[in-house]
Homo-oligomer: A and B are copies of this chain.
């Protein structure tokens, strides 16, 4: 059996190697020509213009050549910044694994861990096949990363209404073959892939302890190939939400710097839909409708996960400039400080709230408060001041405590609080942009030639309007489409393990091993 599989795989691979592998029309796979003199143009207010560069070829030939190295240095700074930030975000997968496993029960720990590990592999494949192409296939080059525009190959789906183009879907970059075998495209792919992965891993928390692996795998491809990339295209890939400013005068269009909406609300609302379809764990709700707490089995594990997430978030938010040098990219320092302040404020707010509410600062809610602050600041982190980040985080820390209780109240069983942390606070973050954006950053964003300004800084309702349209769209897309997907899948591939399996713990029945075979457990 094993031998047959190997032979088969080798055969497939050899064939593929002769097809997929041949890098026809590769753009700059060797990284040689990316980053050059043209990248210095407009990098700073005093930087050379295109005309300056042209003239210099004759008047200052050495400096003109030197500009080539300066340009590549700039691109190298930006590309390495994006990669390092992407690595940090990838590490968040470990944070999610620990938080979700720590906050659930020992008898399902191997299963929860497996989902968090598996989603990374599945997600990479799905995003490689078509997710990236759908999301960014119409986005064109990212200036910070240098190179020639490749992705905007004119291949996209869009509606044109009254002369304005509203993008729906990108259609280039599948499998990163041909001219997409390029250093700039690869840097963008890696960074965006780990964002998708973050969204994809959120539902594994809300649906933990009762989800069949086979159904989870199908979900993984659904999320990485369709659900996430399509909303991602609308918000970040040049799609219709991003063009609400240029096309309809709504501020800078839907603005979501690092993805409170694109990543966290998509994940959080999909988690809500999944948890609703899947139903509550046995024993979670009493016949009178009241909820029983089911404590997490390993608090240090969950707190470690929380700190890993907070660490990785410094890649998530500051990395989302896609650069560190040129054109306002030093803003990364403000972004990082805002991220730090909001996480701290969320943590402290939850600590105070829980102490007032139940008399003690429950560490699991303190951790969730920190995560809530992080989720909420993710959209506005580049557009607000440190003081405002603190406020956004404070509110997030309280919202999450209320949210967890609320989810219980509507009889949805979310073992780790994913809906409250990512869904509710994702929405809060998206709205916060429309309220707090202070007009110091974002000029040129989504093709609008002014900084992002929210209600509290004299921006009126325009930006807030774009944000609210985003929230409504998220409701329909991330919750609605997910709900239909889960309902449909459940009919074909039943999502839930059997009652006997669930009571015994699904580690053995779903994964074949147990998480802690040597530790004695309480009954």
Contact = CB atoms under 8 A, between A and B. Distances in A.
Contact of A325 (B33, B72, B385): B72
* Pairs of residues from A and B, 9 with the lowest C-beta to C-beta distance, nearest first: A31-B330, A124-B344, A76-B325, A121-B347, A360-B512, A20-B387, A56-B62, A13-B391, A187-B333
A88 interface: yes
25 contacts: A9-B395, A9-B398, A13-B394, A30-B331, A30-B443, A48-B66, A52-B61, A66-B70, A73-B73, A80-B81, A94-B304, A98-B300, A106-B518, A106-B519, A110-B300, A117-B367, A118-B347, A125-B344, A176-B337, A177-B387, A183-B330, A183-B331, A186-B333, A295-B513, A300-B301
Interface string A491-509: 0000000000000000000
Given A10-B395, A35-B44, A62-B59, A17 B213 contact: no
A401 interface: yes
Contacts of A327: 32
B16 A387 contact: yes
Contact of A17 (B69, B84, B98, B388): B388
B330 A79 contact: yes
A25 to B, nearest CB: 12
Interface in A16-46: 16-18, 20-23, 26, 28-37, 40, 43-46
Interface in A375-394: 384-388, 390-391, 394
Given A23-B440, A31-B328, A387-B176, A18 B513 contact: no
A520 B520 contact: yes
A79 B184 CA distance: 21
Contacts of A431: none
A296 B181 CA distance: 41
A447 to B, nearest CB: 18
Contacts of A30: 328, 331, 440-441, 443, 451
A303 B97 CA distance: 9
Interface stretch (A160-168, A250-258, A307-315): A307-315
A291 interface: no
- Chain A's interface: helix, strand, loop or mixed, by majority? helix
B348 A297 contact: no
A97 B52 contact: no
A232 interface: no
A22 B44 CA distance: 25
Contact of A29 (B65, B298, B334): B334
A134 to B, nearest CB: 17
Contacts of A122: 344, 348
B47 A65 contact: yes
B385 A23 contact: yes
Contact of A43 (B69, B124, B175, B336): B69
Interface stretch (A281-289, A351-359, A481-489): A351-359
Interface string A65-109: 111111111111101110110111011011001100100011001
B83 A318 contact: yes
